[in-house]
Amino acid sequence: MRRKAQAAMEYLMTYGWAIIILVVVVVALYAMGVFKTGTTVACSNPCFGSQFTYNDHNQDTLVLTNGPRRIIIQNVTGNGQALTYDVTDVEPGRQIRVTLTNVPTRPLTIRITYDDYDSRLTHTEEGVLRK
């Protein structure tokens, strides 16, 4: 009887340690972000595609936050009219301020054309401000 108990305890200890090590490895991988499924920014309202997150706007200024990739802004237009903006080479997570003072009409369609810094491909994102 004693040998069976000892064998059972050895079995439980061996697999118990293996399970503990496995749990520690999975937790470490999760903490490093290995299991994150996407790199896109969640779409807000109004939606400016996958690269920009809408923060706020008033009559004079629109504030957006750049997404996960470094970009170079080529131009920003509002209802086809060129708008001014505060930064051209935009790092991930940096805010972009667009001046809206010369475009009084609403709804206002904002179109942002930019180059991806790494791939040098040109993209266009669009959003509509209703108020």
List pLDDT tens digits, range 26-70: 999 888 877 776 544 444 567 777 788 888 888 888 999 998 999
∠ Cα 50 45 95 (to 5°): 60
Q: Where are the beta strands (DSSP E) in 1-131?
A: 52-57, 61-66, 71-78, 81-82, 89-90, 95-99, 108-116, 122-129
Q: 24 pLDDT band (50/70/90 cuts)? A: very high
Q: What pLDDT shows up at residue 32?
A: 83
Q: 112 pLDDT band (50/70/90 cuts)? A: very high
pLDDT digits (tens, 9 = 90+) for 60-105: 889 999 989 999 999 999 888 899 999 889 999 999 999 987 776 7
Distances (CA, A) of 29 to 23, 25, 61: 10, 6, 41
Distances (CA, A) of 115 to 12, 61, 88, 89, 93: 58, 23, 10, 10, 16
In this predicted structure, the answer to whether residue 106 has a pLDDT above a threshold of 80 is no
Tokens describing residue 75: 């131009």
Give yes or no for a contact between 123 and 116, defined as CB atoms under 8 angstroms apart: yes
Least confident piece of the model among 17-21, 83-87, 106-110 = 106-110
